[in-house]
Amino acid sequence: MTRRLRIATRGSELARTQADRVAALLGGDCDLVIVSTVGDRRTDAPIWEMGGQGVFVKEVQEAVLDGRADLAVHSAKDLPSTTPEGLVIGAFPERADPRDCLVGSTLADLPTGAVVATGSVRRRAQLAGLRPDLSFAPLRGNIQTRLDKAAGFDAAVFAVAALDRLGLSDRASEILEPEVMLPQVGQGALAVECRVEDAETFERLAAVDSVDVRMAVTAERAFLDEMGSGCNLPVGAFGRLDGEEVVVEALLASLDGRIVLRHSVRGTDPQAAGRAVAAGLMDDRGGRVLLEESA
């Protein structure tokens, strides 16, 4: 008889929906362990002011490390590029639509000087690059809270995957293709961590791991890791499989969107491709100068 698994997750409706999805993939014999993170508790400050990636995962990871849970389900986009000692990503089980979308208006229909709500510097910089006339307002909270607040602005930006998983895809006014807005690293993907020494859980996770998703997200995460913790500018990356190769496109932008740099690389090794696209962005597209000027 297999052991009943305990899944650590944040308490939002989206996080619980994602954890329930992983539980179903694992056979359904699971209990949820709800964890509150600093990102959930502090809705008064922009995510980037709290340190960016990691504000929604640290406490969830700690629940696995201290034995309260056997595994943790995350939105892959929330994970820092390095995994804490003692944990391993046992599965990237699936990836929903990785794109961003506008709620409230299409990009073309936004009037001059429109106010777009988003808490993401990546989204803000890319929209400003496309439409320098736009203004921006912060937007924090769970999906429903943000949808409610979005009515007070000309438009708001959401991840398509979040709306889809909650059955709210009809709220999207326009889906933004990666050519228009490059997604965040890992956007749309689920990442499941367990303890390194927990061979039984790791084996069960391996059975639901998607090779294609792992290749794409690994390339994106390698890009993020190569950019390093010293990068304080908007970045994005999107990997996709083309035959046996992974194609990864990456972005680095100034905060005001006046400079948006892009570069793409393909290869059979996702780690190498991710690191190569970061190097190309820095050395061939002027990213290093942009970083130095922002320091």
Domain 219-294 has CATH 3.30.160.40: yes
Question: Mean pLDDT by 10-residue block, N- to C-terminus, for the chain (295 residues)?
Answer: 89 96 94 84 54 75 97 95 95 97 98 97 96 95 93 97 97 97 98 98 97 98 88 93 97 95 97 98 94 83
78 labelled catalytic: yes
Choose the catalytic residue: 78, 100, 154, 198. Answer: 78
How high is the pLDDT of residue 43? Answer: 58
- Asked whether the whole model's pTM tops 0.85, one would answer yes
Q: Strands, E, within the chain: which ranges? A: 5-10, 30-35, 71-75, 87-91, 100-103, 115-117, 135-137, 155-159, 174-176, 190-195, 235-242, 245-253, 260-267
The answer to whether 5-94+189-209 and 100-176 have equal CATH topology is yes
Domain ranges (residues) in the chain: 5-94+189-209, 100-176, 219-294
Q: Which of these CATH numbers, 3.40.830.10, 3.40.50.10800, 3.40.190.10, 3.20.20.70, describes 100-176?
A: 3.40.190.10
The domain 5-94+189-209: what is its CATH number?
Answer: 3.40.190.10
